Amino acid sequence: MGMTLAEKILSARAKAPCRAGDIIISPVDLVFAQDTTGPLTVRQFEALGLGKLASPSRTVFFLDHAAPSPSKELANDHRLLREFARRTGAVISEVGEGICHQRVVEDYASPGEVIVGADSHTVTAGGLGAFATGMGSSDIAVAMALGRTWLRVPEGFQIALNGSFSRGVFAKDLILYIISRIGADGATYQSLEFMGQGLKGLSMADRFAVANMAVEAGAKVGLFPSDETTHSYLRARGREKDSHPLSPDPDAHYVNSLEVALSRLEPMVARPHRVDNAVPVEEVKGTPIHQVFIGTCTNGRLEDLEIAARLLAGKKARSRLIVAPASRGIFLEAMKRGYLQALAEAGAMLVAPGCGPCLGVHMGVLGDGENCLSTANRNFQGRMGNPQAFIYLASPATAAATAIKGEISDPREFL
Amino acid sequence: MRKTLRVGDDISTDHIIPGRFAHLRSNLPELAKHALEDTYPSFAQKVNPGDFLVAGKNFGLGSSREHAAIVLKVAGIKAVLAKSCARIFFRNAINVGLPVLITNTDAIDEGDELEVDWATGQVKDLAKGIELGFGRIPPVMLKILEEGGLVPFIQKYKNLELPGG
């Protein structure tokens, strides 16, 4: 019997055929932490007493979650990470360089690699066929020290995509739809694997947005095959040598499956306080929105800023509008192309490349009873710094349309 | 024989440790005072060393922040009982020496006294006079748990050569 993508990648890395349910020890090709999980990782690493990093040039600390720092405590956490990196040779991605997951897919991740990060959205790199998964600080400290980690090979959950998106519908709507169908624990411990003829129409930005949210269905990874789209992306980034095709075997065994006709999808909105509480935009249209946030590791990419700028150009946002490009590279390119100008003219506050208001640490904390529509991946109570506030999740197009009207709106009215 | 504190379904890591306390993450005793603050405001006052935290389904969904598991332990929780548990939280909890027992928790109420028999895999609810079985923890994780967590495990064995899966 053939192998799923997860089984294939892990078999290759562990150098022994393995199957769902097996416990294996795998080498890791990249290990990272960010500024809120990194300090504990460093302390656990030091407690291990094993000395050196297994691979300093493939050990990265990203200063992205509280960047620039809003408090002396977090500034001291940044200091601790910088000093640790200086001492051990680990790489620091400084304040302003961007979100770990975006930086990883820009410069590090390749198809077939095993990547572990101290952040649940490490799964983003599954968009280009890397077995990338989030872990806690102790696991990451051990992976940094030994260059290896233990894994249970996940069962596969097949998502077959057919057709193509209709106007105003995007990758974010697809993943919100999937999570609403299978539930926030619908793929717990499984490998969510995307396949089918519909893949052809999904850009890398689309794949990253979908893979990013696999964890919101409980999955260990969200995996896309490596195809011509993947190859073009890596080539454009000067990483052609990292590119190779990768796909599951046609007779691989999947424990579960879901088929999605992309053309039948509508713009989706996840209502507070659950990601799986998603409905077509029609059902929540007109809900007043005080703040719109466009950014994050889910939807802070160039394509996202482009569609938002297209909708908002020449208009004035009625909601407070915060825009955070996911990386410095995206910020610069969006500036060159005029997207940031259009957004700023429409009233957007442009904030540093990084996680921004997503996790409630700074920049955009909500007031009591306020509603926010965000392009992020989570709307848990308290997520954006106030348990008395309400978070809705949607695509950048829906976010832009909503900002224009000051209430949840259907982007198709503006396209 | 220990008291239980009860929470519902889908308690996320944002519920356990909200992002607005990120500045306390390098100060775990202080952070622990805010554990579950928005969901269960009296948690930090009520919890006593050795208590059980009883939850519904999909406990610990969300972030990879290991702090969420650590603060429950620092606050005094001996074990978490849940109908199901999110993957990253489950692994983090074992790594910091906090057992997570998967069992049908529907009948267990706040304040019930529980007795856990680790050898037979049974939980007894003394208030209700019922016994519930709990799912076995994978051998790899049991071994880590027996050593008190992943860091002590590695300190002792120096590597990851784990016992059979």
**Which residue of chain A has the CA closest to B139?**
A23
B165 touches chain A (CB under 8 A): yes
Q: Where are the alpha helices (DSSP H) in A147-282?
A: 171-182, 204-212, 228-236
Report CB contact under 8 Å: B88, A120: yes
| Cβ proximity of A349 and A322 under 8 Å | yes
DSSP state letter for A347: T
Is the Cβ of B92 closer than 8 Å to some Cβ of chain A? yes
Strand B2-6 versus strand B52-54 pairing type: parallel
If we measure between CA atoms, which residue out of A338, A333, A331, A334 comes closest to residue A353?
A331
Residue A207 to residue A111: CA distance in whole angstroms: 13
Residue type, A7: E
CA-based nearest residue in chain A for residue B24? A73
Q: How many residues does chain B have?
A: 165
| Residue A237 token pair | 């980034």
What is the secondary structure of A32-85 as a DSSP string?
EEETTTHHHHHHHHHHHT--S-S-GGGEEEE--TT-S-SSHHHHHHHHHHHHHH
State whether residue B1 sits within 8 Å of chain A by CB: no
Residues with Cβ within 8 Å of residue B108, at least 6 apart in sequence: B4, B6, B54, B81, B114, B125, B128
Q: Name residues 32-51 of chain B within 8 A of A (Cβ).
A: 38-39
- Model confidence pTM above 0.90: yes
Pairing assessment for the beta strands A148-152 and A23-27 based on DSSP bridges: antiparallel
By C-alpha distance, the chain B residue nearest A44 is: B151
Q: In tens digits, what is the pLDDT along chain A, a chain of 415 residues?
A: 899 999 999 999 999 999 999 999 999 999 999 999 999 999 999 999 998 999 999 999 999 999 999 999 999 999 999 999 999 999 999 999 999 999 999 999 999 999 999 999 999 999 999 999 999 999 999 999 999 999 999 999 999 999 999 999 999 999 999 999 999 999 999 999 999 999 999 999 999 999 999 999 999 999 999 999 999 999 999 999 999 999 999 999 999 999 999 999 999 999 999 999 999 999 999 999 999 999 999 999 999 999 999 999 999 999 999 999 999 999 999 999 999 999 999 999 999 999 999 999 999 999 999 999 999 999 999 999 999 999 999 999 999 999 999 999 999 999 9
Q: Does A64 touch chain B (CB under 8 A)?
A: no
**What sign does the dihedral A188-A108-A34-A344 (CA atoms) show?**
negative
Q: What is the pLDDT of residue B165?
A: 42
A2-to-A18, A69, A197, A233, B70 alpha-carbon distances in Å: 11, 49, 20, 28, 40
CA-wise closest residue to A165 among A191, A202, A194: A202
> What is the model's pLDDT at position B118?
84
- Residue B54: strand, helix, or coil: strand
Structure tokens at A170: 């995007």
CA distance A311 to A380: 28
Tell me if ipTM is over 0.90. Answer: yes
Interface size between A and B, measured as CB pairs under 8 A: 154
B164/A244: higher pLDDT: A244
User: A25 and B84: CB-CB below 8 Å?
Assistant: no
What's residue B2's pLDDT? 81
- Using a CB-CB distance cutoff of 8 angstroms, which residues of chain A are in contact with residue B62? 120, 378, 380
User: A373: closest CA among A311, A303, A296, A315?
Assistant: A296
Which residues in chain A have their CB less than 8 angstroms from residue B95's CB? 136, 138-139
| Interface with B, mutate which of A36, A45, A213, A220 (most B CBs under 10 A) | A36
Contacts of A123 (CB under 8 A, 6+ apart): A132, A133, A134, A211, A212, A214, A215, A219, A220, A221, A222
Taking the C-alpha atoms of residue A32 and residue A41, their distance in angstroms, rounded to an integer, is 10
DSSP string of B100-155, one letter each residue: EEE---TT--TT-EEEEETTTTEEEETTTTEEEE-PPPPHHHHHHHHTTSHHHHHH
Crossing angle (nearest 10°) for helices A171-182 and A204-212: 30
Instruction: Give the residue from B40, B65, B87, B159 with the most A CB atoms within 10 Å of its CB, the best one to mutate.
Output: B87
Kindly write down the DSSP assignment for every residue of A375-409, as one continuous string: SSS---TTTTS-TTSEEEE--HHHHHHHHHHTB--
* pLDDT tens track for B58-107: 999 999 999 999 999 999 999 999 999 999 999 999 999 999 999 999 99
CB of A233 within 8 A of CB of A301? no
The chain B residue lying nearest A377, using CA atoms, is: B62
Contact criterion met (CB < 8 Å) for A76 and B22: no
